[in-house]
Amino acid sequence: MRKKLIYLAAFLVYVSAILSIQWFESQSPDSNIKTIGDAFWYAIVTLTTVGYGDFYPITLPGKIIGLLVIIGSLGILGFLIGEITVRFNQYMEKKKSGFWGTDFENHYVIIGWNEFAQKVANQIIHAGQKVAIVTNSKTDLDLIADLYSSKDVFSLFADYSNIEAYQKVNVDKTKRVFVNFDSDSETLVFVINLKKQYPMANVVVRCANPSLKETFLNAGIDHVIAQNEVASKLVASYLFEPHVATYTEDLIATSVSDEDSDIQQYLITEECQFAGSDYMDAFLKLKVDFNAILIGLVQDGKIIKNPVKGTNVQINNYLILISSGDRKKALEKFFGVKEGE
């Protein structure tokens, strides 16, 4: 409030000086500053340092006050430039921190940033999807900005416990939310609070302790990855069937080049010609037309592995298949949806 009063007082003094110039100059028949408009034009030209020279004081009082206006104009100009710079920097800092939010929809949200989250983000982005990342470290913002394009990734700096802040990443319009905390207890408490605010959020978490998997599922979490459990299975596979393990590791990664193969899932919509058809018909068409291998079907949230002939493919089912990267665009065009949707 005090600063505003100082600014107001300085403004009134400046205006008074301009009016005084007009009054003194109007007393002289030789003066070119006759009206208030002339006086303000002289002040504006002086303030902007243009200096046309069409208006200038000729009386002694006018020159003295004019000198004060010139000095004051330098101060005002410096103040305006400083204020604009500060405001611009504040805006850019808020933008960098994600303060203004994002318009991403049908995207993925990663809460908690580290090396593991970066690898997850890479896979999602390689699949042509958008990602919103939430971190509580401003240092991470620079790293994320260097790694990814803003058209693919939005980053938000926020306190993880501030559930209201997640509206800025459109949690209620996302496909899935991946919670990536190191502590299982922190993850559990966080997800419970998140689900209270956004009950429809489809949440995926990783847990360090496999024995807590059921606890997480009972808390309303949709998918729980026991990281050590997955790693141990893959290691055992490398010991027992190394070629199978290598192939498995390649399949679960998103294809980057045209030669890479990965496992994909596609939603069956009303427009898809597979809706209402036999699974085996879909299997044959995908193999013949796209060299893709159909390996499973998802109905009512349950995975049917290698369904038998006679299994009916229904609307809102998912087909799970293996395909190479060069077939992905053709498959997305055929199904009318992107991979994973």
The answer to whether the CB of 294 falls within 8 A of the CB of 307 is no
Where do the structural domains in the chain lie, given as residue ranges?
Answer: 2-96, 108-231, 258-335
What is the mean predicted confidence (pLDDT) over 150-166? 93
110 Cβ neighbours under 8 A, 6+ residues apart = 117, 120, 121, 131, 132, 133, 134, 178, 180
Full-model pTM = 0.69
What is the band of 128 on the pLDDT scale with cuts at 50, 70, 90? confident
% of the chain surpassing 90 pLDDT:
39
Q: Find the Cα–Cα–Cα–Cα dihedral 283, 288, 291, 295, rounded to 10°.
A: 10
> Which one of 1.10.1740.10, 1.10.287.70, 1.25.40.10, 1.10.8.100 gives the CATH number of domain 2-96?
1.10.287.70
Range in 129-138, 225-234, 267-276, 317-326 the model is least confident about: 225-234
d(CA 241, CA 188) in angstroms, rounded, equals 36
The answer to whether the CB of 311 falls within 8 A of the CB of 279 is yes
Report the residue count for the chain: 341
The arrangement of secondary structure in 108-231, i.e. its CATH architecture, is 3-Layer(aba) Sandwich (3.40)
Residue 86 φ then ψ, to 5°: -65, -45
Q: What is the pLDDT of residue 146?
A: 92
Range in 190-194, 234-238, 242-246, 285-289 the model is least confident about: 234-238
Decide if domain 258-335 falls under CATH 3.20.20.80: no
% of the chain surpassing 70 pLDDT:
97
What is the mean predicted confidence (pLDDT) over 53-77? 77
Q: What is the pLDDT of residue 297?
A: 93
Q: What is the pLDDT of residue 294?
A: 94
Q: What is the pLDDT of residue 160?
A: 93
Q: What is the pLDDT of residue 102?
A: 94
Check pLDDT > 90 for residue 156.
Answer: yes
Check pLDDT > 80 for residue 334.
Answer: yes
d(CA 178, CA 189) in angstroms, rounded, equals 15
In this predicted model, what pLDDT tens digit does every residue of 12-33 receive, in sequence order? 777 888 788 788 777 778 777 7
The residue among 159 and 210 whose pLDDT is bigger is 159
Mean pLDDT, the chain, whole residue set: 86
Check pLDDT > 70 for residue 255.
Answer: no
Residue 328 φ then ψ, to 5°: -65, -45
Q: What is the pLDDT of residue 171?
A: 93
What is the band of 256 on the pLDDT scale with cuts at 50, 70, 90? low
Q: Give a three-class secondary structure readout of the chain.
A: CHHHHHHHHHHHHHHHHHHHHHHHHCCCCCCCCCCHHHHHHHHHHHHCCCCCCCCCCCCHHHHHHHHHHHHHHHHHHHHHHHHHHHHHHHHHHHHHCCCCCCCCCCCEEEECCCHHHHHHHHHHHHCCCCEEEEECCHHHHHHHHHHCCCCCEEEEECCCCCHHHHHHHCHHHCCEEEECCCCHHHHHHHHHHHHHHCCCCCEEEEECCHHHHHHHHHCCCCEEEEHHHHHHHHHHHHHHCHHHHHHHHHHHCCCCCCCCEEEEEEECCCCCCCCCCEHHHHHHHHHHHHCCEEEEEEECCEEEECCCCCCECCCCCEEEEEEEHHHHHHHHHHHCCCCCC
Check pLDDT > 90 for residue 236.
Answer: no
Q: What is the pLDDT of residue 132?
A: 96
Check pLDDT > 70 for residue 51.
Answer: no
Find the farthest-apart pair of alpha carbons in the chain and give their distance in angstroms, rounded.
Answer: 107
